[in-house]
Amino acid sequence: MFKRTLWINGLEKRLVVDPEETLANVLREQLHLTGTKVGCGQGQCGCCSVIMDGKVVRSCVTKMKKVADGAAVTTIEGVGQPGRLHALQLAWMVHGGAQCGFCTPGFIMAAKGLLDTTPSPSRDDVRDWFQKHRNACRCTGYKQLVDAVMDAAKVVRGEMRMEDLAFKLPEDGHVWGGTMPRPSAEAKVTGTWDFGRDLGLSMPKETLQLALVQAEVSHANIKSIDTSEAEKMPGVHAVLTHKDVKGKNRITGLITFPTNKGDGWDRPILCDTKIHQFGDAIAIVCADTEKNARAAAKKVKVDLEELPAYMSAPEAMAEDAIEIHPGTPNVYFEQKIAKGGDTKPIFDSADVVAEGDYYVGRQPHMPMEPDVGFAYTNENGKLVIQSKSIGLNLHLGMIAPGLGVEPENVIMVQNPTGGTFGYKFSPTLEALVGVAALATGRPVFLSYDYFQQMTYTGKRSPFFMNVRMAADKDGKLKAMETDWSVDHGPYSEFGDLLTLRGAQYIGAGYDIPNIRGMGRTVCTNHAWGSAFRGYGSPEAEFSSEVLMDELAEKLGMDPFDLRYKNIYREGSTTPTGQVPDVMSLEEMMDRIKPKYDEAKKRAKANSTNGVKRGVGLAVGVYGAGLDGPDTAQVDVELNPDGTVTAYTTWEDHGQGADMGLLGTVHEALRPMNLGPDKINLVLNDTEKCPDGGPAGGSRSQAVVGRAAAVACENLLQAARKNGGFMTYEEMQSAGKDLRYSGTWSAPAGNCDENGQGDPFAFYMYAVFLSEVAVDTATGKTDVEKMVLVADPGKINNRLVVDGQNYGGLAQGVGLALSEDFEDIKKHSTLTGAGFPYIKQIPDDMELLYVETPRKDGPTGASGVGELPLTVPHASIINAIADACGARVRELPARPEKVLAAMPK
């Protein structure tokens, strides 16, 4: 230990510190300055950025022995506070720069470091600066962050006033359709929005810190678990194994279809007989500190009999492969698609046939905030679990039997959450902290490091696809045949539903009268398959969108013209035989055509022998909702002060649930003339809120939003009087209820065994355009410009919708070119897994909207979250082929793959 006197945000602080401790931990744990966030812990994400002696530093890798005595450190708390914002913080708010908000303090600190030395930066200066300082964002797509810095610089230079920059409510009072910053924005830009680790620092002193004993192989039988040495380690309170789990020690995968050959109870909470994947939890060490818990975890001895590990669907489908779950075949679910007539004679006589094999891989979610959560027993004896869950009631039902607790005795709460992009549609640590809290009788806290985040959370499930299309000589599609295998990892949860997505989305967007195909869900020993933005469509639609370009080449047609001839129009049906909810694709294609023509001219004019440029298109479609009659409930309550409170579980993982609910309720209650400041939100606590359902499938704005509108209408009906509405007191005097529920179910059905049906009441539509430059010597590809024409229905909040679309496009760049989680150890860091930093994402991204009202949507809305990641990656792959002739069918298209595919 040694003494340090530091100047923290202008105040002198005298500290005793461990020289090996990081500056980030000293700031957070000793000085309680939790605005500084720790993401990767490896200096690769910049969330922990602070300014020390005038320089931006990453505090998570800055050891205290390297911090000089008398050093001056500025954190986000020293830049501006709520009500007293710095120009950067205000600019971040009005440009929608804080989505989940976890990376926001680090970005603002880095930006301040730039403006302190370069008050008139160019956009390239800003991008170079963020690249240099490794500031990473998974939500925004970066464009809004550069916009924010440029506007803040104007304020710093005195060219703009803060009041000119600030958001102003329109004179008509409308929030719907505008750009009001989300209610959480100010807390996020000032670092006062407490995420899971921040809340963990405020837990009671008796809280036990947890560490996991995890598998370091991918498939094995467990012969024995010896905890004796670990139990003697300093600070250890208990070491828990499967024997300490009071319930059935399984997380139910909620089998969707009766033809599934598994029973859904294949995922242990703590492994008892087998290891099914790398990282599986075997034991939980409960200790006084995380350091002691992790040290003790290394002392647990696990004797294993290693088994063959099947790390891909083809391996697990091999004739000699053993069953990963004995008694259940590795291929445990099959999904047919049969639309129209028999396809064989059509293909036999077709003018043109195109066929290809395609692969979309195990994309990692890579949020900035690693998984974190805690649990305790409340004053009523109920188990409370607080985590990053985006499906509170869903997860309650999935884990309660395994814990041995009746569902009514479990309360689920979502903490402020730093991005999930879908991985938290699956329970991760919820059952683990539940087990520990029940077994010890103490509050418990568990936080993954980034290696655990990468290796012990779900990933996008790879699809292996073969697709054939038949067309006449004029390019009219006549038939399609498909075959797809879904590598879903070892646990079945939602695997059958994901496989259905192949039937629903291969060929989506086009009127294909005759389709035959078969898909299957395959159990493997790689990372379990969890939801990821787009949920099946980035895999399924990639195959058909790349094949459309290949078919166009065979026909001698322009790819735009082939698509234009075959998109949905009156009389068209989807691959499931459903009539699309709106027919906007023709207008969308018309909107993008001039952009496409300009891009083609640019590519031709700017190509050289060394750098070839090309243009690619793709059409994306996704259903907004969970399959079938998706249901949500929202309550609204009139308060004594005349305000209204809305209650529901509309989970927020950065997409903007708070703004979504506020905008919807404000619009529905316009007759009462309430300002947005008169609407309160109580979200994501199952003890207080009705069940809005999980935040997945782009369902929330459409389904939860419609339930909110119903609740508001019920309140309005009850409160109406001649010429206006009753006050709280008048409602009380009249004996009327003050709280009203709204429940709504989507008018949709289920798909039959042939994949035919009307699974969604709402769809979303997109047309993507990408311009790329390919270095012909190396195969390196740069995406120079992207255009998205989107139809999300009527837009609730433009900042939120723009943010979703920019962020989805950025993730599409990563999926196309760099992101992978195939090699468990090599791909277990952000940089190793191919995370795209700001210079990998084009600054030139253009969004165009066709807002076709949906008759069942609240104020005409559909959804947006999944839409921008349906197939932007296909437009990039098509652009690469246009540029240099390299047709890449397996993602990611790394430089060596592009180089190998170039015509020789």
Q: How far apart are CA 689 and CA 27, in angstroms?
A: 35
End-to-end Cα distance, the chain: 64
Two structure tokens written together for 782? 């740069």
- Output the furthest CA–CA distance in the chain (Å, rounded): 85
Determine if the peptide bond prior to 559 is cis (ω within 30°). Answer: no
539 is catalytic: no
What is the three-state SS of 653-710?
Answer: CCCCHHHHHHHHHHHHCHHHCCCHHHEEEEECECCCCCCCCCCCCCCHHHHHHHHHHH
Is residue 506 within 8 Å of 540, Cβ to Cβ? yes
Is residue 838 within 8 Å of 503, Cβ to Cβ? no
Kindly tell me the burial class for residue 226, based on how many C-beta atoms sit within 10 Å of its own C-beta (0-12, 13-18, 19 or more): middle
- Residue 462 phi, psi (nearest 5): -65, 145
Q: Which of 712, 694, 717, 704 is nearest to 745 (CA)?
A: 704
- Residue 123 phi, psi (nearest 5): -60, -40
- Active site residue: 77, 481, 651, 866, which one? 866
Q: How far apart are CA 594 and CA 605, in angstroms?
A: 17
Is residue 460 within 8 Å of 361, Cβ to Cβ? yes
Unique residue bearing structure tokens 């012969």: 223
Q: How far apart are CA 632 and CA 858, in angstroms?
A: 13
Using DSSP bridges, classify how beta strands 781-791 and 679-683 pair: parallel, antiparallel or unpaired. Answer: unpaired
In the sheet with 220-226, reading across from the earlier edge strand, the strands are 274-275, 220-226, 301-306
Is residue 218 within 8 Å of 278, Cβ to Cβ? yes
Two structure tokens written together for 101? 């908000």
Count of beta carbons in the 10 Å neighbourhood of residue 136: 25
Which one-letter amino acid corresponds to residue 192? Answer: T
Q: How far apart are CA 317 and CA 738, in angstroms?
A: 59
Q: How far apart are CA 737 and CA 713, in angstroms?
A: 14
Q: How far apart are CA 396 and CA 430, in angstroms?
A: 9
Q: How far apart are CA 864 and CA 867, in angstroms?
A: 5
Query: Which helix (H) or strand (E) segment is 303 a member of?
Result: strand 301-306
Q: How far apart are CA 904 and CA 893, in angstroms?
A: 18
Q: How far apart are CA 898 and CA 36, in angstroms?
A: 40
- Residue 895 phi, psi (nearest 5): -50, -45
674 Cβ contact partners less than 8 Å away, ≥ 6 residues apart: 643, 644, 666
As a whole number of Å, the CA-based R_g of the chain is 27
Q: Is 94 helix (H, G, I), strand (E, B) or coil?
A: helix
Residues with catalytic roles: 866
